[in-house]
Structure 1
Amino acid sequence: MTAETHSPTAVPTEPTVTTKHRRLLIAVFAISSSMGYIAMIQVIPVILIPMAADLGTSRTAIAAASTISTLTGALAAFPVGRVLDRYGGRAVMTSGAVIGAIAVALWAQADSLPMIYVSFVLVGFSITMCTYEAAFAVLVFATGPGHRDRAIITVAMIAGLATYLVYPILGWMNDEFGWRTTLLILAIVFGVTAVPGHLWIIPSGAMHRRQVAHRHGVPFGTALRQGRFWLLLIAFVGQAGSVSAFLLLAVAFLVDVGHSTTAATAMLVGIGVMQILSRLVLTTFARRIRLVPATSVAFSIQALGLLLLPLAGLSVPLCVLCVAAVGVGQGIGVIARPSILADSFGVAHFASVLAAITVPMAIARAGMPLLAAWLGDWRFLMICGALALVGALALLPLVRVPPVGAAGH
């Protein structure tokens, strides 16, 4: 599935995947990431009420499981990144899919909160090992700079679309089969699609080592000492915390303002729509758009929407525009991070550098909603908007700075 060529002087050139292999990688990662997020994250709000009723506990106690998985993923991110750098993604991502399928099946059998929490510790490991972060790392390792951005965008666009379109199906499954059977079905589908797919198509450890041997990259410790790294960390951590807090409290804020629950939840569809549209634009014009300024603009749009939302009042069109602005920042942010990091620091230690930013992002995603809930009313929107604006401003010094790792990917 791979091609390796040699120059006339017998000096080996960089091993690269074939066009067919690259397309298969994209297809497998799009399917496995979609199923992973659906089975381990997207299903939670659909089954939250029947789960709480069945287990005789509060919805808050059930929802705390997602915080547990987020923090577990944060703890796992750096060691997983180091393993990805050294050995590649086949063993890590295959194992992660196995752990995820087992976690969801265990979740389906849970009869107490401790069992739910144990399941979500495993979910946290699985999400880190076999969804976006790991998939993007493999794509960066396996594809050249000319194909990397489009590959990442395509995976994120397909997975993003699938995870938003699946809600009606999940609702039907929950009504038809109940929450436990729904989870069992998702566990089986996830395992059957992701495990063999990862085992079959991800380059072997030996191939990974040959690829990385021909790539350059800033050593991990050196990257941490560069101002560019810290500006990127501030940008992506701020944006991630902003989105996480907003998504938790958006419906409650809109209802408190005076919108109906139906209208408030419908407005959030705008986030998904703009995520897809923003990624579609980048896919179409990938070779013409520079990611750093595009990301700064996207984070600015997100900030503007959040800061203006308290002024929109009961105007549905204005509220929809403000809410949709969050989708622009989220849509661009997810796909820009791996590409900008690869451009900035090269490939050789990419997964470790990515993990170093993923960990504080996960902490922000877990902590910011708590701060926002404590603030309540319109003040949490000011905090969310300010964080996104800080993220946009942090990227500005990098707009004209040439990529550090551009010379050798």
Structure 2
Amino acid sequence: MTQILGLGSVYYVIGVIGPTLSAALDVSATLIYGGFSLSLVGGAVIAPLVGRAIDRLGGRRVMAAGSLVAACGLALAASAQGAWSYLASCVVLGVAIATTLYDAAFAAITQIAGRRARRAITLLTLFGGFASTVAWPLTTWLAARWGWRETYWFYAAAHLLICLPAHWLLLADEPDQAAFAAPEQAAQAERDGAMQGSARRAAFWLLGLALTANSFVFSGLSAHFIAMLGELGLSERMVVIVGMAIGPAQVLARLIEMLSDARHDALAVGRASAALLPVGVGCLLLAALHPAAAFAFALTYGLANGLITIAKGAMTLHLFGSAGYGATLGLLSLPALAARAAAPTIFSATNEIAGSTATLALCLAAALCGLAAMETVVRLARRAAVDKPVGKAVEDAAATGGGERAWRRRAGGPTIAAFRIALPACGDPCVRPTTPFRFFPPARPSRRFARPRATPRPNRRCSARS
């Protein structure tokens, strides 16, 4: 509920009352939407600070304070008399964006959800996907019945009466240790994350690049795809239907992820989102040929947008751990939010200079760049998952006096030992072996280091033949 109210009052409201606000304050539409971009930039700049504050002070204090800041910003907007007072309200609302919306909420619920944080993030984004569905008609009704100033006052009161108590009562001042309870080795791995050393830095920058590219594409298309579909020859009725299909596709993606999260990890979610986005942009390029391509764009674009929100929170937790999670998420959000603020202007300028086809080509290039970065992150994480147990085994061998050379000799070969998997080794076909498979096994397989078994277990197929 708090995310629906937060997104509806801070993020989506300007799309409904922006023209009315421009006429009432006697300022240009460029200044109105430029103020919104100023809010996004301000939120991006302070996002790392907000993440660190959540790590140190807890989500309850930071998000409750964010609700107060949002109420103050909306009250300033309701009282605006000209350009400067409106821009001042936008600066305050930028602080509210950083302290009340998804990034802050992910860090806050991770503190109370612990090891089940990924499922909690999925549920949060699932309900948050209805924000536009609720906010657009509600804001339209409020503005038509009461006026734009009263609409801002209504949302300011909602932050004080609903969001503030919810954040204060439901969130925590520090991580819930019981929620993170696990065996010591698993708990340490969850605190540190999957990536270590130089691979950790590379994964951080690549994930930041992937999220920035996706934010650039999503923000630019969200502002311009309706006009682009009209330029490509679709009727107004068809454009409206295509636009309405995006929201349900986002919710569908999050629902599918929630129901199947036990079958795949966070890396698969990020990979799927990054792969769907260039497909969606390609479908938009083909929309002039057949309307079905426009509906394919709505489906793939909505699925990608629904999954990337989950992937951002879940992949950050998986790769970099729960220690300093808020600060890490804030640093990753800094370039992504800046790209989100700049994308509509860049798309508009490109569209005016070179046309919609060139804009879509730029969009496709950014989507492919994000896909390449995301795929590299996934490969680094998969390699780290293989290397980590091997390094632990080498350390254990060194601690017991054998050293790395002895461990490799027992493992059955040189660096290929890192890829051992539990498959039968060559030997008597009527006895199920217990030694691990090796890509380059020794000439004569040895069972000296196999786990002893009281009696060999016969192979059922051989028993049936005999």
| TM superposition score normalised by structure 1 | 0.85
1:379-390 maps to which residues of 2 (within 5 A)? 379-390=358-369
Q: Does the 8 Å CA contact 1:80/1:129 hold for their aligned counterparts? A: yes
AA partner of residue 232 (structure 1): L
Q: 2:131 aligns with which of 162, 165, 168?
A: 162
Higher alpha-carbon deviation: 333-342 or 321-330: 321-330
CA shift for structure 1 position 237: 1.0
User: Is the CA contact 1:217–1:349 (under 8 Å) kept in the aligned structure 2?
Assistant: no
Aligned to 1:100: 70
Stretch moving more, 309-318 or 246-255? 309-318
Supply the distance in 2 between the matched residues of 1:115 and 1:197 (Cα, whole angstroms): 30
Q: Deviations over 1:278-318 (max 9, x none)?
A: 00000111111222133222222221111231222163332
1:310 aligns with 2:281: no
Separation in 1 of the partners of 2:203 and 2:168? Answer: 36
Aligned-pair distance for 1:225? 5.9
Is the contact made by 1:301 and 1:328 (CA closer than 8 Å) also made in structure 2? yes
Matched to 2:273, the amino acid is A
Correspondences of 1:122-201 after superposition (within 5 Å)? 122-145=92-115, 147-201=116-170
CA RMSD of aligned residues (A): 2.5
Q: Contact 1:217–1:346 (CA<8 Å) still a contact in 2? A: yes
Change (3 A) 1:288 1:386: same
What are the ranges of 5 or more consecutive residues in structure 2 without an aligned counterpart?
Answer: 182-186, 390-466
Is the partner of 1:378 in helix, strand or coil? Answer: helix
* Paired-residue identity, %: 27
Compare 248-257 and 68-77 and name the one that shifted more. 248-257
Q: Distance in 2 between matches of 1:176 and 1:223?
A: 58
Assess, with a 3 A threshold, how the Cα gap between structure 1 residues 314 and 223 changes in structure 2: closer, same or farther.
same
The separation in 2 between residues aligned to 1:346 and 1:363, in whole angstroms, is: 25
* Distance in 2 between residues matched to 1:393 and 1:111, nearest whole Å: 48
Measure how far apart 1:219 and its partner are: 13
- TM-score normalised per structure 2: 0.75
Alignment deviations for residues 93-140 of structure 1 (CA, whole Å, 9 cap, x no partner): 110010001111211111111111111111110111122111110222
Preserved CA contact (<8 Å) 2:216 2:343: yes
Q: Distance in 2 between matches of 1:125 and 1:257?
A: 38
What SS does the corresponding residue of 1:258 show, helix, strand or coil? coil
Q: Is the 8 A contact 2:71 2:160 kept in 1?
A: yes
Give the aligned residue type for 1:176. R
Looking at structure 1, the residues matched to 238 and 373 of structure 2 have their Cα atoms a distance apart, in angstroms, of 35
Residue 6 of structure 2: which of 30, 36, 43 is its match? 36
Per-residue deviation at 1:384?
A: 1.4
How much does 1:378 deviate? 1.4
Candidates 306, 310, 314, aligned match of 1:335: 310
Matched, 1:396 2:375: yes
**Larger CA Rg, structure 1 vs 2:** 2
Deviation of residue 275 (structure 1)? 0.7
Residue 286 (structure 1) aligned to one of 218, 236, 261? 261
The alpha-carbon distance between structure 1 residues 59 and 224, as it changes in their structure 2 partners (threshold 3 A), is farther
Equivalent position SS for 2:206: helix
SS in structure 1 of the partner of residue 81 of structure 2 = coil
Summarize the alignment of residues 209-358 of structure 1 with structure 2, pairs less than 5 Å apart.
216-217=191-192, 226-313=201-288, 315-358=290-333
Look up the match of 1:7: none
Distance 2:244 2:362 in 1: 23
Q: Number of residues paired by the alignment? A: 374
Pick closer, same or farther for the CA change 1:225–1:300 going to 2, 3 Å.
closer
Matches of residues 32-71 of structure 1 in structure 2 within 5 Å? 32-71=2-41
Moved over 3 A (4+): 207-215, 218-225, 260-263, 401-404
